[in-house]
């Protein structure tokens, strides 16, 4: 039986993995949240690996507050870069395949067609820079890895764009949503299934993958779809906001080519 460690188990992707894990009887999953395993503490990671010889480590642990990362980049780099470096070092020591979740924000958004794995990353905010450094650490340290870049992750769990729009729409709040960014919303449940498919496939190649749900749109388009799907269009007013201001620069176009 293959043993799989999932870090960041309380995040939306970790919770989606927990939801489907019981379906896979050939794998023994260990789910750890940040209280159980702090990836910024290499001794904490080593202790977990000493207790169980993991065959796979799925790293869902990340600092994802893009705005706060601009104000306190040291926190983002501690988790998204140095923490990932710690995982890569321990995974190499224990011959564990590291499956790491990265982001479309490693790109600058100036391209007019989907980004491929061959495109050169050029992040424009601290969050993206921290995630790219994490990717670089993995590639420098170990050959046994799968880096999965994804985008606009959402699910029924936690606070994300989907749950926020749904909550406000059900409350009857009118909404203003930007249409200045284009990307691919990705259901974390679908990403979880993709991750399990990598774990299940003995022939999975090491390297970088791009995974999204494939349909590109603006945030406004996505909000409109959420409202229509839930038949809430008669309860609220949804309008486009062309003056959406953020501290962090965000890529205007970050569609990922599926590969």
Catalytic residues: 127
Whether the predicted model's global pTM rises above the 0.85 cut: yes
Q: What six digits make up the tokens of 31?
A: 């789910």
pLDDT tens digits, one per residue of 179-193: 999 999 999 999 999
- Indicate the DSSP class of residue 14: H
Closest-CA residue to 8 (of 76, 63, 56): 63
Q: What six digits make up the tokens of 157?
A: 């769990």
Q: Is 202's pLDDT higher than 80?
A: no
Q: Do the Cβ atoms of 224 and 238 come closer than 8 Å? A: yes
Is the domain defined by 2-155+187-212 classed in CATH 3.40.50.720?
Answer: yes
At 241, the pLDDT band (50, 70, 90 cuts) reads confident
Partners of residue 149 on adjacent β-strands: 102, 210
pLDDT tens digits, one per residue of 123-139: 999 999 999 999 999 99
Q: What six digits make up the tokens of 200?
A: 């299940």
At 243, the pLDDT band (50, 70, 90 cuts) reads low
Q: What six digits make up the tokens of 65?
A: 């507050």
Kindly give, in sequence order, each residue whose CB lies less than 8 Å from that of residue 204, ignoring residues fewer than 6 positions away: 146, 198
Q: Is 203's pLDDT higher than 80?
A: no
User: Which pLDDT belongs to residue 237?
Assistant: 84
pLDDT tens digits, one per residue of 27-40: 999 999 999 999 99
User: How distant is the alpha carbon of residue 95 from its chain centre?
Assistant: 24
> What is the phi/psi pair of residue 155, to 5°?
-170, -175
Domain range annotation of the chain? 2-155+187-212
d(CA 191, CA 99): 12
Q: What six digits make up the tokens of 193?
A: 């299934």
- Indicate the DSSP class of residue 105: G
d(CA 75, CA 66): 11
């Amino acid at each position: 039986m293959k043993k799989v460690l999932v870090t960041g188990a309380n995040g939306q992707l970790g919770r989606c993995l927990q939801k489907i894990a019981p379906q896979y009887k050939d794998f023994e999953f260990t789910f750890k949240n940040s209280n159980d395993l702090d990836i910024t503490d290499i001794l904490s990671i080593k202790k977990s690996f000493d207790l169980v010889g993991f065959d796979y480590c799925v790293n869902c642990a990340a600092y994802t507050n893009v705005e706060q990362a601009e104000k306190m980049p040291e926190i983002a780099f501690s988790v998204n870069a140095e923490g990932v470096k710690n995982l890569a070092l321990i995974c190499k020591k224990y011959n564990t395949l590291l499956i790491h979740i990265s982001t479309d924000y490693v790109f600058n958004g100036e391209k007019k067609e989907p980004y491929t794995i061959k495109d050169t990353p050029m992040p424009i905010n601290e969050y993206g820079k921290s995630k790219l450094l994490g990717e670089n650490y993995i590639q420098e340290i170990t050959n046994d890895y799968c880096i999965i870049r994804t985008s606009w992750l959402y699910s029924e769990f936690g606070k994300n764009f989907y749950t926020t729009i749904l909550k406000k729409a059900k409350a009857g709040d009118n909404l203003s949503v930007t249409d200045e960014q284009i990307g691919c919303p990705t259901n974390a449940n679908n990403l979880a299934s993709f991750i399990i498919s990598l774990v299940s496939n003995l022939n999975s190649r090491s390297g970088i993958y791009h995974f999204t749900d494939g349909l590109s749109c603006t945030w406004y388009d996505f909000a409109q779809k959420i409202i229509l799907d839930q038949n809430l269009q008669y309860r609220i007013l949804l309008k486009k906001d062309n003056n959406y201001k953020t501290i962090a620069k965000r890529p205007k176009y970050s569609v990922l080519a599926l590969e």
